């Protein structure tokens, strides 16, 4: 997974989504990724499905802002997301309960 791009990781959310883990969750998640490989992404969880699109959501349930490389390191398991959050390298806004559960909805490896 070392040479996977941030774009591929984000797009992989659709395949990695485990709807049984997110039963009853309807949410719009905004990723704002900065730096090299950065971009804005909308991840929508609705009715047991996950869709990913580039762009900015009007009213996201939760927003995650991070450097694209830090985001990649968290998704590939190189670092603990909570550790980066505590260091201020991952910034979250909105539904923090959703943020805590988010990683359980996907099997990224």
Cβ–Cβ contacts within 10 Å for residue 55, how many?
10
pLDDT tens per residue across span 82-91: 899 999 999 9
Residue by residue, DSSP assigns 14-27 as HHHB-GGGGTT--E
Query: Residue 1 has what pLDDT?
Result: 47
Q: In a 10 Å sphere around its CB, with 0-12 CB exposed, 13-18 middle and 19+ buried, how is residue 94 labelled?
A: middle
pTM for the model: 0.93
pLDDT tens per residue across span 46-100: 999 999 999 999 999 999 999 999 999 998 889 988 899 999 999 999 999 998 8
For the chain, the structural domain boundaries read 6-100
CATH number 3.30.1050.10 is the correct assignment for the domain at 6-100: yes
Token pair of 6, please?
A: 């941030």
Closest CA to 36 of 82, 79, 80, 68: 68
Give the whole-angstrom CA distance, residue 95 versus residue 72: 22
């Amino acid at each position: 997974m070392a040479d996977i791009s941030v774009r591929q990781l984000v797009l992989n959310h659709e395949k990695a989504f485990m709807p049984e883990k997110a039963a009853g969750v309807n949410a719009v998640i905004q990723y704002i990724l900065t730096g090299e490989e950065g971009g804005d992404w909308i991840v929508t969880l609705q009715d047991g499905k996950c869709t990913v699109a580039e762009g900015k959501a009007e009213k996201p349930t939760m927003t995650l802002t991070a450097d694209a490389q830090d985001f990649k390191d968290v998704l590939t398991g190189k670092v603990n997301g909570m550790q980066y959050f505590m260091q201020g390298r991952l910034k979250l806004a909105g539904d923090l309960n959703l943020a805590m559960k988010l990683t359980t909805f996907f099997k990224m490896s």
